[in-house]
Amino acid sequence: MTNEINPTPFDRSVLSTLRSLIPNRDVHSLAEAKQVAEHQAIRLLQLHNIGDGPIPVEFIAELPKIEIELVEAPVSGASFWNGNAWIIQLNKHENYSRQRFTLAHEYKHIIDHNRADGLYLGSKDLTAAAQAEHAADYFAGCLLVPKILLKRAYYGGMQKPSDLANHFQVSEVAILVRLRQTGIAEPAPRCLPASAPFSRSWQYRMNNPTQLQGV
């Protein structure tokens, strides 16, 4: 802890900076929780001076006390504290685009640690846990496909979902979701889910630290 009057964001940990964006009160709607998630994603990009796509996934892996493991697993990913560092486990058999999205999704759960009870209260339609998964998906979309960069690419002539997916290194499904979330495309009929929350049932650890495919 420094004694400076106006410490820069990096005088605190990145996690502390992002957690400071969570209101010091209960958040009573998923919509507001998603707004918090978007603000955190934008702030994270600002902290690393990232202003163009594709968003490099390496910076999450390089943050202090973050370790990435590629493992055999029945689901896409999991995250937990092992006593010394935050572990993010990714399914080694999934493609690079999916691993990128999962990494961002799991990092949001790390940001929410010890604050989730106030962020996600549940509703008649969604449990608190389901809200947390939706918010993590939203954070990942905002981080990997930022609104300003998506609009720049789309209105610059890159309008095919496949081209946008290649540009941002995410799936076409993620692009279609972000096109709707940002208001660029009209909401589709109920044929495509707004998000696909990950299972949180996988919480074992395998000691196989490695690097993401393609990183």
Spans of all domains in the chain: 11-181
Q: How confident is the model at residue 213 (pLDDT cuts 50, 70, 90)?
A: very low
Where are the extended beta strands (E) located within the chain?
A: 66-71, 77-81, 86-91
- Give the span between the Cα atoms of 7 and 100, in whole angstroms: 31
Q: What is the distance, to the nearest Å, from the Cα of residue 26 to the centroid of all Cα atoms in its chain?
A: 21
Q: How confident is the model at residue 200 (pLDDT cuts 50, 70, 90)?
A: very low
Mean pLDDT of 177-200: 68
pLDDT top residue among 53 and 207: 53
Question: With b meaning 16 or more CB within 10 Å and e meaning fewer, what string describes 77-115?
Answer: bbbbeeeeebbbbbbbebeebbbbbbbbbbbbbbbbeee
- Give the span between the Cα atoms of 189 and 4, in whole angstroms: 53
Q: Thinking of the domain 11-181, which architecture would CATH place it in?
A: Orthogonal Bundle (1.10)
pLDDT of residue 189: 54
pLDDT top residue among 157 and 199: 157
Q: What is the distance, to the nearest Å, from the Cα of residue 85 to the centroid of all Cα atoms in its chain?
A: 19
The token pair that represents 184 in the structure block: 């660029």
Q: Is 61 exposed, middle or buried (0-12, 13-18, 19+ CB in 10 A)?
A: middle
pLDDT of residue 212: 54
DSSP 55: P
Query: What's the chain's average pLDDT?
Result: 86
pTM: 0.83
